[in-house]
Structure 1
């Protein structure tokens, strides 16, 4: 599709969705004059990376979520720790679960060579997440430009802002409500777990230490539990040990995640928690049986997420290197 046609389609989508939550300072085609090739470069590098390792798709989508839920979508998750500060990316919530930092680095290097000091790391990440979803079969959606990069990244802030994979429904709902998302939007965004992988240490409690009365989480389908125990043996402290999030289609962005949850095959406690209330369980069922509806809702929710707490105008900075402040 030609760039002009993409712009027309994106504007149509924006009009159909309404502009009530478009953050002031963000706009479609933000780089059309200052760096016209910006989004094309992002897409090119993301597609190249995913052709070599499609697992980066889940990493980049998750990276955007983890960035936006801590200090807003300001690229703070991309900053490296320094001798005097531990940054978000080194939190046990993010390390080693986030992947794709090197993809962002390659995009940034190309854009700095073409349009020095113009395209923010926060915008690059927002474009990369969208392109990752599109590459794996999800709907494309408009991403506005104009974010600027934050200058602060604090490891400890990840614990109070990011929901845990061990969250119950009440905790999940509150975590998303704190960021302005409804319970329905929380269920919708949980569907990102349809791609990617989980580290064994995030599910070991469900397998070996669930409660005082049950070592194994009774809400975990027995044959899956047996398989997971073989892949994640008790006492294995290898932090790199992983299992697919979605055994049916771990590299395809579709609603099979919800079918897994209904079959008690969601990996995280937070996944199966969606069935503990009739309203969220009904939404899970609707999403499981209507892939197009879910993808459309997911696109809207990601559009909203990408505008969370952004810095625009003269705030922040445009980093020359996404890993360090200028």
Structure 2
């Protein structure tokens, strides 16, 4: 529907019998982590640096709340209020958009300001122009391990689509529940029954 690649979705994956915020903490990369920390998170799940960069291309869609990146706009350091990695015009637009974020926590910005509702490779092109919304987005272009893949995908949407499709298929098989480790829920947002 949004122009992205087709890929196989395996059927029959079971949902976990545990659903808590604490069970997720420490397992997911955070926007303010260094790229080396994020690479280690992905490597611990058997993903390559290239797969990490391809999967992060999902940021071509969606948005982030201003509170997730406001420190880059207003309080980057004691001497520099705005992260110099931001394109200056982009930073000014974000400041206008997010000026009231503390009073209105729902305020947000698109991850890809150029084509926010289209799955394409402009996300990577934006990174080269200093228009990475999150610190982790910007780090993809700054880090010498990830930059070559950002540059590849910025130039070659076909390569991005191919690599994204393979990586998302691999991700869908990560940590699959078998036997009595999980269940196929009748309602997505509720367990079928109470488990002890």
Please give the range of the TM-score, normalised by the shorter of the 2 chains.
over 0.9
Instruction: Structure 1: give runs of 5+ residues left out of the alignment.
Output: 1-134
Deviation track 1:229-266 (CA, whole Å, cap 9, x = no partner) reads 00001663322111111111011101110000000001
Bigger radius of gyration = 1
Counterpart Cα distance in 1 of 2:143 and 2:15: 39
The residue correspondences of 1:19-38 to structure 2 (distance < 5 A) are none
Q: CA RMSD in A?
A: 1.4
In structure 2, C-alpha distance between the alignment counterparts of 1:149 and 1:279, rounded to whole Å: 34
The structure whose residues are more often helix, as a share, is 1
Name 2:140's counterpart in structure 1. 274
SS at structure 2 position matched to 1:279: coil
Aligned to 2:156: 290
Give runs of ≥4 in structure 1 deviating > 3 Å.
none
Runs of at least 5 residues in structure 2 that lack an aligned partner in the other structure = none
Q: Alpha-carbon deviations, 1:49-107, whole Å to 9, x = none?
A: xxxxxxxxxxxxxxxxxxxxxxxxxxxxxxxxxxxxxxxxxxxxxxxxxxxxxxxxxxx
Match of 1:193 in 2: 59
Matched length: 192
Aligned to 1:261: 127
Aligned equivalents of 1:279, 1:152: Cα separation in 2:
35
- Give 1:205 deviation, angstroms: 0.8
CA contact (8 A) 1:204 1:234 kept: no
Output aligned runs, 1:27-176, within 5 Å.
Answer: 135-176=1-42
Distance 1:280 1:149 in 2: 32
Distance 1:192 1:270 in 2: 13
Rounded to whole Å, the distance in 2 between the matches of 1:279 and 1:146 is: 36
- Encode CA deviations 1:2-61: one digit per residue, 9 max, x unaligned: xxxxxxxxxxxxxxxxxxxxxxxxxxxxxxxxxxxxxxxxxxxxxxxxxxxxxxxxxxxx
Q: Does the CA contact (< 8 Å) of 1:146 and 1:312 recur in 2?
A: no
> How far apart are the structure 1 equivalents of 2:183 and 2:149?
40
Q: How many angstroms does 1:170 deviate by?
A: 0.8
